Structures are given as structure tokens and as C-alpha cells.
Amino acid sequence: MDSTELLKQFPKYHSKLDEYVHSAKAMDEQTFRRTYENDQGTLPFSVIQIPDIRLSLYRSRLARFVGEDENLSAPQTFSYVPLASTNADFPKLQRANFSGQSIFYGSLSPITNFREIGEDVTAGEEIYMAKWIFSPDANLMLYKVLPPKGAFLNEYLRKMLSLDEETSDAFESFFQKLGEILMSTEDGNAKYLVSALCANFVYKFQPLILSDGSKIKPFDGILYPSTKVVEGNEWNMAIKPECIDQYATLQYVIRGNVAKDLRSIDYSDIGFCKDGEIHWYSPWIDHKDITPTKIFVWDINNVLVDIDGGILYDKVGKMVSNPSAVFEYQKDQWAGEYIRHFQSSLRGENILEELEEDHLPSATFRGHAILREVDGWKLVRNDREYDIGKIGFEFQVKSTFRRTQTPNGINCV
């Protein structure tokens, strides 16, 4: 089709979009689909992108939406809804799928993915985030949604499509309108009815021969800007399940809690996918790896007293031969506190993308002056006697990961 013929089509394209928007406000989903799902040739499929990047997709699930019967060791749990589990109402209608249609949604970066979580999410909620990677030979064909305010055609596309200036203007005007539909943030199902319809036109697209003899193959999915980011260049994708099955592999899943900024995750557990199964690892501390390194004592006036060379006695006058027994008494409490330092250190010092199942990190921390009050104790040193009111310790804690059947969060044993 030359530019003159193409230009003649744009009034029809614009009119059809307007019709879809108007009908979506008056029809239920079933009626809307019956009326328009088989429309042919109502969208010009000319704006495409095959990303020249090492493509990874991030996908999150709130734990409250993970069913009790779902297998946390199965990659499918963190992928698209299994086709066998779909019904007329599940999955629900979304931006790029009709009700009952399973599509894989993901984001090109973790922070974008967190922005896509529902508005009712609160800090501290348990969440899973999975990273999927595509094989180099995927050669994905994606329909790129142009932001309404940034729709444009570059010189390459103009020349490839043989578009003159008038046709280019009509082209851009149409894609601005289409972008407004596909990125709508209005309330109600009407916005999703039209965007889901347009998405399905993309999924059903048949190969097209361009004027220069090149061929556009069927699309694997849709690339669209995040609607949760007012400024910036953050992107989401909606991918057909068969493409995920053929080209994508789960690399890892992390489990943790939504951070206070509602844009990141305070993670603890890591699951690595190997041979089709997720191997979970949780941070832990063994009691034997909590060891005191120095003892401190304070008198009843809260003055630090030098213990070197002195002897401690309890309230019945018996020599305290093992002051560290007090430390052992509270190991559980202190381990539970310091394992959280490991969780924080893991995020701060280790790059998640570089973690490997066979080389998981460990960390050693030093705690200072963990106190416990004592009653009637005395310290005899250099022929002087001190009434002791508190005892404290400097100690070290070593944390690492342990293989678990399911993610356990932060634990000590």
C-alpha cells in the first residue's frame, strides 16, 4: 500500500477507535467481544520494535494472592496463569487481556514492577518477585505502544513505509489516540475493554509484507510505558504464554516484604531455579556461630568497671566461673535481632543479579554492650570490691543461607 492509499485509511482507523471507546461504555464485556473481537484491518501495524537488549522481565505477586495449594517450588507459580486454570472470569480483565485470557505481564526493571503493584498495597506486606530471562535466539517481535505525548515516526520508519509528510502527520495523530487508549488510567472496565481489544488485534496479527519486500512476523507481545511513572522511561511488557514457554527461563525468585517506599522489597529468602525446580534458601544463624568476645560490667551507679584481673561473685557469694552463661541465656533474642543485620547487609553489599546458588554470601557482625541486669553481684579486683548492677558483652555473629523446602524468612536455630 503506497502513502496515498494509506492516508485514505486513517479516517477509518480514527473512527473505529472512537467507536470502540463509545461502545465500551455501553456494553458489557461479552457483548463487546462478540461485536468487535473479529474486526479485521482496523489497526495499522507499522510501529514495531525488536529490542536490542539482553532482555529480562520482572514479575511480582503479593503473597495474599498465592493460593495455599500452589507449589512455591514450581516456576509456573511465578509465571502466567496456567491455561488449565483459566475460566470465563479468571484471570480478570486487564490492560492487555480479556477475562479468562492468560497473558504474562512483566517489567523491564524491578523498580518499575513494584510500581505496578495494586494501589491497596501497604508497607510490610509479604511479596514474591521473579526474574525471567529470554534466550538470545528469542528475537522477540514486540508491538511498541507510543506514549500519547511522544508519538513520532523516525526517518527510518518513514522511509521504510514510504510515507510523505501528510501521511506521517496522520500516522502520528492516530498513534497518539491509540496511546491514550492503551495507557488509560481512568476508572472502570471501559478503559480495559478497548485496550484488551487492541492487544488482541496485536496477538492475532498475521505476517505482513512491506513495500520494501521485508516481512513483519507475528507479534510475541506488547511493549508499553508504565502508567505509574509520570516522568521517566520505564516499560512493561505483555507476552503471549507460548513465547514464555519457548524462550523464557526463570532465573530466581526473592521473597520478602514491601519496603516503606512501596517501590522496593526488603527481601530475605532467595529461590534459584534449576532443572525446572526452585531451590529455596533462607538466612539463618546457628547458635554456635554466636560467640562472646569480651565482657563488660557496670556498678550499681552505672559506671563502667574494668574487669581485667578481677573475680566476679554472685549474690550468694559463689564465684561466677562462666560469666558468658548469661550471654548464652539470651542467645535466641540476640540472634533474632542480629540476623536482621544480615538481611540488610545482603541487600546493601551483594548485587542480587550476581548471586549464585553455589556461592551464597555470609556475613559476620560484631555486637556491643548487650546488657542484662544482675542482682547482688560483686567484683573483687586489686583488693577493692564493687557492687555490680549490669553485665554486657561484645560478641560476633555469623549469618549465612540454608536450603529450605519453602521460604522461611529470617530464622536462627
pLDDT tens string 201-224: 999 988 777 667 777 788 999 988
Packing angle of the helix pair 29-36, 190-203 (nearest 10 deg): 40
Could you give phi then psi for residue 313, rounded to 5 degrees?
Answer: -125, 145
Domain boundaries, the chain: 3-274, 285-412
CA 57 distance to own-chain centroid: 9
Q: What is the pLDDT, as a whole number, of residue 367?
A: 72
Three-state DSSP class for 1? coil
Q: Is 353 buried (19+), middle (13-18) or exposed (0-12) by CB count in 10 A? A: exposed
Ranges 97-106, 250-259, 282-291, 334-343: which has the least confidence: 334-343
Nearest one of 44, 51, 49 to 177, comparing CA atoms:
44
Pairwise pLDDT comparison (140 vs 160), residue with the higher score: 140
Are 348 and 295 in contact by the 8 Å Cβ rule? The answer is no
Residue 46, pLDDT > 50, answer no
Calculate the average pLDDT of the chain: 82
Q: Examine the pLDDT at 3 and tell me if it is beyond 70.
A: no
More confident residue, 367 or 119: 367
- When pLDDT is averaged across residues 121-150 and rounded to a whole number, the result is 85
Share of the chain above pLDDT 90, in %: 39
Q: What is the pLDDT of residue 104?
A: 97
How many separate helices (H) and strands (E) can be counted in the chain? 9, 18
Cis status of the peptide bond prior to 91, with omega within 30 of 0: yes
Q: In this structure, what DSSP letter does residue 375 have?
A: E
User: What percentage of the chain carries pLDDT values higher than 70?
Assistant: 78
More confident residue, 10 or 19: 19
User: At 106, is the pLDDT very low, low, confident or very high (cuts 50, 70, 90)?
Assistant: very high
**pLDDT recorded at residue 299:** 95
Question: CA dihedral in degrees (17, 18, 22, 28; nearest 10)?
Answer: -10
Residue 4 has pLDDT above 70, yes or no: no
